[in-house]
Structure 1
Amino acid sequence: MDTEPYRNELVAYCYRMLGSVHEAEDLTQETMLRAWKARERYDPERASVRTWLYRIATNVCLSALEARARRPLPSGLGAPSDDLGAPLAPRIDIPWLEPFPDGRFDAEARADLRLAWVAAVQLLPARQRAVLVLREVLEFSAVEVAAQLDTTVPAVNSALQRARATLA
């Protein structure tokens, strides 16, 4: 089984999920490693190689996002405030978000890698983000997404509706 033809699209998927090119490349490598280790358990009757790889990549990305929420942000990302009495307000920007290098994909494939879109998607909860990207961008069916996320089709449709409403 050859997984290499899917590498670039997996990098793009991980980038959409995380907003960091470097993390996307690392997680794609982790996806490929997990796929290689599990190659004996792959069943072509249950899913295509592409669907199987996306399931692995989704789990890798969701784990990374969960770990990201628990780790402290690096200091020095913003200037200190002069007003000590000012209320604390959450930052809505995403300091680690970075643009995707345009040279890797043709213009049509880059349309959904625009920084503004990726930034907006970062505001969604991780599972809604995964559902939105898998359904709307990659055009997997609700049944396939449900299988990839170990959930039900109604749960996928509900998450997609919530994601769309949040982005609107």
Structure 2
Amino acid sequence: MDFEPYRGELLAFCYRMLGSFHEAEDVVQETLLRAWKARDRYDPARASVRTWLYRIATNACLTALEGRGRRPLPSGLGAPSDDPEAPLAPALDVPWMEPFPDARFDVQARADLRLAWVAAVQVVPARQRAVLVLRDVLEFTAAEVAEQLGTTVAAVNSTL
């Protein structure tokens, strides 16, 4: 079973979910490793390889997101200062959003990988983010998304 043709689209999906290109690469590696280890349990009657890989990737992303708090965005890094004349002190420990490298996709295919879109979707809770990306960006059916997330079609539509 060859998973390599799906690597690029899984990387884009994980980037949309995590907001970090480097974290997305790690999660894609984890996804492909999990898929390889479970390849003998894959049932083509239940789902396509693509849907199965997205289910694994979604779970890996949700697990990665559970381990960290909300990512701060440049516009919401802290409370307003009492002294407007005070010099700005950068917080060097803040994990910033990372743009997706231009060399990975052509410009037309990158429309939904724009940093502003990825930054905006980061404020949405992780499961809701997964539903949004899987349904509206990747155009999976509500039934496919429900199966991937282990929920119902009604819950997917309500979350969306």
Give TM-score, length-normalised by structure 1: 0.81
Aligned: 1:132 with 2:132? yes
Q: What are the Cα deviations for residues 62-113 of structure 1, in whole angstroms up to 9, with x where unaligned?
A: 000001129xx9xxxx79x9759xxxxxxxxx84211000111122210100
Question: 1:97: which partner in 2?
Answer: 97
Equivalent in the alignment of 2:49: 49
- CA deviation string 1:121-140 (max 9, x = no partner): 00000000000000000000
Amino acid at match of 2:143: V
Over the aligned positions, Cα root-mean-square deviation in angstroms equals: 2.3
CA distance in 1, matches of 2:52, 2:108: 25
Name the amino acid aligned to 2:115: L
For 1:109 and 1:38, the matched residues in 2 are separated by 31
TM superposition score normalised by structure 2: 0.85
In 2, Cα distance between equivalents of 1:156 and 1:82: 41
SS for the counterpart of 1:56 is helix
Q: Unpaired runs of 5+ in structure 1?
A: 85-93, 161-168
Q: State the alpha-carbon separation in 2 of the partners of residues 149 and 132 from structure 1.
A: 12
**Whole-angstrom distance in 2 between the partners of 1:141 and 1:82:** 47
Give % identity. Answer: 76
* Aligned position for 2:156: 156
Distance 2:43 2:52 in 1: 9
> Counterpart of 2:90?
none
What does residue range 1-150 of structure 1 map to in structure 2 within 5 Å?
A: 1-69=1-69, 83=82, 95-150=95-150
Distance 1:66 1:96 in 2: 18
Structure 1 partner of 2:91 = none
Matching residue of 2:86? none
Counting matched residue pairs gives: 146
